[in-house]
Amino acid sequence: MKKKKPPMEDSAAPFPNGKEAAPHYTDTIDPELIKPTPKPTPPNAEPSAPGSMKMPDNATEKIRELDAMRSNGMGQALTSNLGVKISDDQNTLKAGSRGPSLLEDFHFLEKMAHFDQERIPERVVHARGSGAHGYFQVYKSLSKYTKAAFLQDPGEKTPVFVRFSTVQGFRGSPDTVRDIRGWATKFYTKEGNYDLVGNNTPVFFIQDAIKFPDFVHAVKPEPHNEMPQGQTAHDSFWDYVSLQPETLHNVMWAMSDRGIPRSFRTMEGFGIHTYKLVNEEGKSTFVRFHWKPVYGKKSLVWDEAQVLTGRDPDFHRKDLWQSIEAGDYPEYELGLQLIPEEDADQLDFDILDATKLIPEALVPVEIVGKMVLNRNPDNFFAETEQVAFCPANIVPGIDFSDDPLLQGRIFSYSDTQRHRLGGANFTEIPINRPICPFHNNQRDGFHRMQIDASPANYDPNSIGNNWPRETPPEKGGFTTSPQTVSGVKERLRNPSFAEYYSHPRLFWMSQTPVEQEHIINAFSFELGKVTRPYIRERVVDLLTRIDPDLASGVARNLGIQLTREQLSRELPRPVCGLEQDPSLSLYAHTDGNLKGLRVSLLAADGVSLKSVKEICEALHEEGIHPQIIAPHMGSVTTEEGEDLPVNGTLSGTPSVLFDSVIVPEGEQSIAALLKDGDAKYHLRQAYRHLKAIGLPGNAKAMLEAASLPQDMDDAGLLMPKDTKSLMPSFITAMKQHRVWSREPKTLDFGA
């Protein structure tokens, strides 16, 4: 029977004044009650509806399933957990208004006891994360390689939930620390959940799962004082690195600008391990998974990343959230590196070694589909915190390889979920449930939600006619792809895993000079925080085995004298004869588009509306969000007499929150900004962080006021005669992402 909607006017919350609350008709969110936003909500605008209500017409099967679980107190009476209406939620029950509280106050006991138990253990790694819903679609059938149902039909959208994370810091640590980013995707396929649990680097720090607890202990804040938070710049991490050279390749990636992404929208993702795709005929092909961001690869610069940890610790979380609210849906293409099993031996390294990547120059990435993230969660805890990923969650058509790191992960994830989420039934939590039916003889345990009605809970059984029954492989039952295995039981690592320096060298040699300089600086920064000199020396010694310029650069900054022997080491051989692979560089080619980027327009009363309009039109055409930043909130009155709403103050909205900055024309506005320290700081910081700066017409005066160099060769410092002539070159400068040529000039420039 269709439930009646409560009329909105009757929905006032009951207050202890004796007024009767509106009846409790429904407990799920009624789309009629909260209208979806007609237009995307721009960044910083007032939120208009929960994530689930934004786009009712593109809800996936998973979203519709979750809808049934959503609860919304709007228009509802406040009740106990068991539905008893509460008349007074302001005062405990007392023996006399000044007397002691009474044990029979069941409402207080329930409320407080629930509060006392609100926290669950955070993830042991990847504790800090942000999630989003979306969908995945293949471009063409992959039946040649895999029978996985969700990879067959380009017309089918598979619901996904993605969680991005940092690794080292606790749940409340800042987003923009130097770290690897986790990238876990749950595909809710019709054949069960498939989890691709990867990172934003294509390699990992260790080769064998048994070293993971050691590695993580070394990475995490140190045991005696629990410092530092959210970073690897400390003794125990570098001690471990210095003693375990297999870490070096991933360390090189972490020290590059990949360790400080601009946003989750602008990172590449990697499944890292070699997996297998298996087709209907049972033929398997080795595969490595890639995510390529449609918005291109973009990173922060180091000083900016550090400033952001204080100015906006939620920078990445906010970017993801606001991009989805604004309709700038993060999009990533799925890419596959496919290696026929018989060709695996042709590589001069072992594809089972997760510290090695397969160069794209050797095995190109085939783009096969796209993922779109188009919906924010309604509740962080219920969805992002409770989601449980596990590399063991695979579906028919995908299989594991013998990678010893992957093999260990198959155990660890569900084990940690049982601890973190309170027992074996965590798969029944709504965000974790598959969208397809599931039945088996596993029973009971804490928080069992399902009421198992079958009369028999064992197999074989005759009482229940042996249901639920197995499914043969040809009808969709999962079967492990056959593989002959033989060997002596031994704790050994294969000699094919034993070379550690050629891959880090390939990475180093593939970077642009700017990126190489950043890597040297990052090593120097991190090792500069290491208190034990012998650890610093051991790491620098390892670097001499990768490249003498890298080692000398770091040694110079650390005041370490390298010996002749260290400087004349034999360098590792090129990986499969490759000296370089441009795909390893972030900036060898600028790619992607400008959609969702932000530009600050510094303005005060008297700003030219004409100038602002011209700027906004040009920026909107590229999908960029302009924001008016002024000395005060509210609005600024334009030269033409109109009020322009302000998005942020100069003191509270620094340039690190933007990709570029423009000072629009308007005599009076510029006169005010010339005297404003925050406006000058905004420009100086933007300059230091290599951003495009537009100073059209009389805004040019800001250059001198902010003590910026009058540099005619700077392609990102644009001072044309008026706004109209600014915009084309400003957009071109933004497409370069940063003004790299400016960087050497900022060395003597404090901001």
Give the Cα separation of 567 and 293 in Å (integer): 39
Parallel, antiparallel, or unpaired for β 643-645 and 660-662? unpaired
Residue type for 435, please?
Answer: I
Neighbours of 159 (CB within 10 A): 23
For residue 289, state whether it binds ligand HDE (rule: CB under 6 A).
Answer: no
- Give the interface segment with ligand HDE, choosing from 144-152, 196-204, 536-544, 734-742 (CB under 6 A): 196-204
DSSP secondary structure of 647-684: -EETTTS-GGG-SEEE----HHHHHHHHT-HHHHHHHH
Residue 558 CA: distances (Å) to CA of 420, 528, 530: 42, 7, 10
For residue 412, state whether it binds ligand HDE (rule: CB under 6 A).
Answer: yes
For residue 184, state whether it binds ligand HDE (rule: CB under 6 A).
Answer: yes
H or E element: which one contains 158? strand 158-166
Instruction: Identify the three-state secondary structure at position 340.
Output: strand
Minimal distance in Å, beta carbon 373 to ligand HDE?
14
Q: Pick between residue 212 and residue 478 the one whose CB is nearest to ligand HDE.
A: 212
Q: Pick between residue 125 and residue 726 the one whose CB is nearest to ligand HDE.
A: 125
φ, ψ dihedrals at 132, nearest 5°: -155, 150
Minimal distance in Å, beta carbon 728 to ligand HDE?
41
Q: What counts of helices (H) and strands (E) characterise the chain?
A: 18, 18
Q: Pick between residue 269 and residue 694 the one whose CB is nearest to ligand HDE.
A: 269
For residue 165, state whether it binds ligand HDE (rule: CB under 6 A).
Answer: yes
Q: Pick between residue 163 and residue 370 the one whose CB is nearest to ligand HDE.
A: 163
**Structure tokens of 731?**
């957009």
Q: Pick between residue 129 and residue 694 the one whose CB is nearest to ligand HDE.
A: 129
Show contacts with ligand HDE in window 97-136 (CB under 6 A): 123-126, 129
Q: Pick between residue 138 and residue 405 the one whose CB is nearest to ligand HDE.
A: 405
Minimal distance in Å, beta carbon 132 to ligand HDE?
12
Catalytic residue among 199, 376, 393, 425: 199
Catalytic residue among 126, 234, 273, 316: 126
**Structure tokens of 674?**
């010339």
φ, ψ dihedrals at 717, nearest 5°: -105, 100
Residue 347 DSSP one-character state = S
Nearest one of 490, 507, 574, 590 to 543, comparing CA atoms: 507
Q: Pick between residue 160 and residue 604 the one whose CB is nearest to ligand HDE.
A: 160
**Structure tokens of 428?**
């029944």
For residue 624, state whether it binds ligand HDE (rule: CB under 6 A).
Answer: no
Ramachandran bin of 160, using left for φ above 0, alpha for ψ from -120 to 50, beta for the remaining angles: beta
**Structure tokens of 364?**
């190109």
Among 52, 189, 199, 638, binds ligand HDE (CB under 6 A): 199
Minimal distance in Å, beta carbon 243 to ligand HDE?
18
Among 29, 49, 55, 197, binds ligand HDE (CB under 6 A): 197
Would you list which residues are annotated within the binding site for heme?
123, 163, 212, 409, 413, 420
For residue 421, state whether it binds ligand HDE (rule: CB under 6 A).
Answer: no
Give the Cα separation of 299 and 303 in Å (integer): 12
For residue 204, state whether it binds ligand HDE (rule: CB under 6 A).
Answer: yes
Please identify the residue of the shown chain whose CB is closest to the bound ligand HDE.
182
Give the Cα separation of 691 and 714 in Å (integer): 11
Active site residue 199: yes
Nearest one of 266, 108, 289, 109 to 197, comparing CA atoms: 289
- Give the interface segment with ligand HDE, choosing from 198-206, 224-232, 495-503, 531-539 (CB under 6 A): 198-206
For residue 296, state whether it binds ligand HDE (rule: CB under 6 A).
Answer: no
Q: Which residue has the tokens 């609860």?
A: 71
Minimal distance in Å, beta carbon 427 to ligand HDE?
13
Show contacts with ligand HDE in window 208-247 (CB under 6 A): 209, 212
For residue 389, state whether it binds ligand HDE (rule: CB under 6 A).
Answer: yes
**What is the total count of residues that contact ligand HDE (CB under 6 A)?**
26
Active site residue 126: yes
Do 291 and 183 contact (CB within 8 A), yes or no?
yes
For residue 408, state whether it binds ligand HDE (rule: CB under 6 A).
Answer: yes
Which residues bind to ligand HDE, rule: CB under 6 A? 123-126, 129, 163, 165, 182-184, 197-199, 204, 209, 212, 272, 354, 389, 405, 408-409, 412-413, 416-417
What is the set of active-site residues?
A: 126, 199
